[in-house]
């Protein structure tokens, strides 16, 4: 199956899979963190060996990323802008009071789904979709929703279900 096929399957099946993903994560709430993170780590590698983010970019197209002041300073410096001007042009505060990019798709999503500020992108973009680096168990509450946005998270949850 090609990367595009995986993304296509995700589009077709994500809605119907929502309830079973929620059940899976509820069951996992009783599981031990260490083996869960180890399983997630290996499925994360597997998912991203099959799915190419450049065929997708759905996160960049549909979820405005969170920024912190360090991100804003770093990106502004990279763009040769004052931090205040960068914030005026690109940043807003969302309903939870968090600083986020002010447009969706992200204003830095470039041609062919490349990120125009990849080397200095926000920490939240580097960490998304929170399934590697031993993040999975601590962020269980996010994965069912993220599977609706990210074909790799969908793949990971589908494979985890098979193992139970």
Residues that bind ligand SF4 (CB under 6 A): 51, 53, 56-60, 65, 106, 108-109, 115, 117, 121-122, 125, 128-129, 149-152
Crossing angle between the packed helical segments 151-162 and 3-28, to the nearest 10 degrees? 60
Contact status, residue 63 vs residue 142, Cβ threshold 8 Å: no
Q: Minimum distance between the CB of residue 125 and ligand SF4, rounded to whole angstroms?
A: 3
One-character DSSP codes across 16-40: HHHHHHHHHHHHHTTS-HHHHHHHH
Which is closer to ligand SF4, CB of 30 or CB of 141? Answer: 141
Which is closer to ligand SF4, CB of 22 or CB of 78? Answer: 78
The pair of structure tokens assigned to 73 is 């300073």
Which is closer to ligand SF4, CB of 38 or CB of 127? Answer: 127
Q: Which residues pair with 109 in a beta bridge?
A: 115
Which is closer to ligand SF4, CB of 30 or CB of 148? Answer: 148
Q: Minimum distance between the CB of residue 135 and ligand SF4, rounded to whole angstroms?
A: 13
Q: Minimum distance between the CB of residue 73 and ligand SF4, rounded to whole angstroms?
A: 15
- Give CA–CA dist 121/125, Å, rounded: 6
């Amino acid at each position: 199956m090609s990367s595009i096929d995986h993304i296509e399957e995700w589009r077709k099946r994500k809605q119907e899979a929502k309830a079973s993903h929620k059940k899976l994560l509820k069951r996992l709430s009783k599981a031990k963190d260490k083996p869960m993170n180890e399983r997630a780590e290996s499925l994360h590698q597997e998912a991203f060996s099959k799915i190419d983010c450049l065929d997708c970019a759905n996160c960049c197209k549909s979820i405005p990323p969170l920024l912190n002041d360090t991100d804003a300073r770093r990106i502004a410096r990279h763009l040769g802008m004052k931090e205040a001007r960068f914030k005026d042009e690109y940043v807003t505060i969302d309903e939870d009071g968090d600083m986020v990019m002010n447009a969706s798709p992200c204003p830095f999503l470039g041609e062919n789904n490349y990120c125009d500020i990849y080397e200095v992108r926000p920490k939240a973009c580097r960490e998304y979709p929170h399934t590697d680096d031993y993040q999975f168990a601590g962020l269980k509450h996010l994965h069912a929703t993220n599977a609706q946005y990210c074909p790799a998270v969908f793949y990971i949850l589908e494979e985890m279900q098979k193992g139970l």
